[in-house]
Amino acid sequence: MCEDELTPPRADMTEEQWLRAGGPGLPEGAFAREAATPGPARAPYAGAVGRRTLLGGAVAGAALAVLPYGARTPAVAAPRAGGAHGFPLPAAPGASGEFAVLVTGDAGTGDQAQYAVAAAAREVCRAEGVSLAVGLGDNIYENGPESDRDPEFQEKFEKPNDGIDVPWLMVLGNHDCSGLIPGSGGDPSRGDREVAYAASSRRWYMPARYYNLALPATSPGSAGRTGGQEPLVEFFALDTNPVASTVVQTDPHYRWNGPYMREQRAWLDAALKGSRARWKVVLGHHPYLNNGRHGSAGAYDGFVIGHYTSGVHLKELYEEVVCGRADLILSGHDHTLQVLEPTARTGGTRQIVCGAAAKTGDGRAHFGHPAAWQDFSRHGFMVLKAGPQALTIDAYTVDIATRKAVLAHRTRTTTPVAAAAGALT
């Protein structure tokens, strides 16, 4: 549920608790940050587990009787639908030697705030030479599209983003995969409609429910140059809904331990292991760590029992497959802007939360995961810059009335996680 009606009573584990439990060490010296403006102070940890923990099983059980089964489709579809009619993927870094990528999340409302953030982002994209964009889920509020020709695609994606004429790497959010209960994520099969929409959109890039995309370090024909044989950055887009829904998955194919999630996990493990990209970026709607109201995987919205609402199996996926292998996890779900610190717990992987493209948080941090910068009250977006020397995140806040963006923070990473771990020379 991406509406902010639930406040989790505590995170699944604080950083101090995790370290006391014997987490592995973290290489030092890999990260540097540069703040354009100081961020708000973090709030203390919230109190004890409340009654919503006990209600989680009842809510999930009650939904079993009403949620429909979904049709099954192959877990990985063919390469990009739509072919040559789509805006072209960037073939080489820009003049600065970097790929500049717009990052937005939880945008699909079609309201004034979405249009204002998109207008502000459009100006920054022009100035920064952005050649790619990312949409971190909840693309079509409140229940996702009714078909791949639903007019809401125009109202809540195409029209607001007119002028940001680049491919958008899209991932599925819980509102994109809802059945009778808005935001439940209880009907993952509805996400197939968003995959199918890629065939008719120039912007929307979603070749499958989960997929990866590597961008070259140099232009075509320059493979003989240093670094030309390996990608500069690779994106791994996940479908996190089957292991983070607020209701039990009724279709066995999409259950937390069903064929779909087993296939996705095996694919992600092999894709990360086989990637030779300098920078590796995982895209998933639901975050691993989060200081906003929804909380972290394993205790989403205060739930700590069951296989679904808490996100415990997504927590396992992040910890066992992603942490220590990817440089970034980019997520939405919480309507906030957060640049969290890489720690021993994450194996050096940095969590980014960017879900304020149309909605905002309640103005305060609910948990205390170490953060380089965070904002819980303003709309905004980010720009990721991937170059041979550094991976940079620029966080922008947006004034809705003026449709203007302000650079609020910059974080710069100079050593890939794999290199810090000794996996690269």
Q: Indicate the pairing of strand 337-340 with strand 132-135.
A: unpaired
- Quick one: what percent of the chain has pLDDT higher than 70? 77
Spatial separation of the C-alpha atoms in residues 28 and 218, rounded to whole Å? 30
- DSSP structure string for 142-163: TT--SSTT-THHIIIIITTTTT
What type of residue is 259? P
Helix, strand, coil shares of the chain as percentages rounded to 5? 25, 20, 55
Mean pLDDT (the chain, rounded):
84
Give 320's DSSP letter: I
Phi, psi of 396 (to 5 degrees): -115, 135
Per-residue pLDDT of 228-284, as tens digits, reads: 469 999 999 999 999 999 999 999 999 999 999 999 999 999 999 999 999 999 999
Report the run of H or E that residue 274 belongs to, with start and end. helix 259-274
Cis omega (within 30 of 0) for bond into 142: yes
Spatial separation of the C-alpha atoms in residues 102 and 383, rounded to whole Å? 5
The model's confidence at residue 141, banded by pLDDT at 50, 70 and 90, is very high
Instruction: Count helices and strands (H / E) in the chain.
Output: 8, 15
> How many other CB atoms are there within 10 angstroms of residue 4's CB atom?
17
> How many other CB atoms are there within 10 angstroms of residue 1's CB atom?
20
Spatial separation of the C-alpha atoms in residues 280 and 282, rounded to whole Å? 7
Residue 36 corresponds to which tokens in the numbers above?
């354009």
pLDDT at 16: 58
- pLDDT of residue 408 exceeding 70, the answer is yes
Yes or no: say if 369 and 15 are a contact pair by the CB < 8 Å rule: yes
